[in-house]
Amino acid sequence: MAGKQFSINDAERLLPTLSPLVLRAQRLKTTLEEYEDVSLRRRIMTDGTEEDLELPEPLDAEHQALKEEFYKAVDRVNSHGCILRDVEQGVVDFATRFEGRDVFLNWRLGETRITHWHENEDNVAGRKRILELR
């Protein structure tokens, strides 16, 4: 596993910085989904002609700007050396080594501490409780 390695304490020091960034990414994702829902409803309500399938130009430009802002928000989280795994759940992974193997410390938005970890090939469903790795 290449990249930054975190101790539990290092990862926990980042939580006050990451919380608002992850929350912003969640809000942007929700707004993007609302735009996509509007677009889908327009497609269902039209007769299927090509010009009717597109968002009106001002909405399309705003949609594109929101997409860019969403990806920037995700990049801001990841720029700290961690990985935003699941925007909707607010799940962030921090690479670490434990007992000679690469694993991830795992945090979910709203948690005040790092209390879980998982193997590289596992996802959020494979989270295991940290008993005492400090």
pTM, two decimals, is: 0.80
Per-residue tokens: 51: 């010009």
Residue 105: predicted pLDDT: 95
Q: At 90, is the pLDDT very low, low, confident or very high (cuts 50, 70, 90)?
A: very high
For residue 106, report the phi and psi dihedrals to the nearest 5 degrees: -130, 130
Residue 55: predicted pLDDT: 53
Per-residue tokens: 4: 């930054």
Per-residue tokens: 56: 């009106």
Helices (H), the chain: 8-45, 50-53, 57-78
Who has greater pLDDT, 35 or 97? Answer: 97
Q: Which residue pairs from 61-64 have beta carbons closer than 8 angstroms and sit at least 24 positions apart in sequence?
A: 62/35, 63/32, 63/35, 63/39
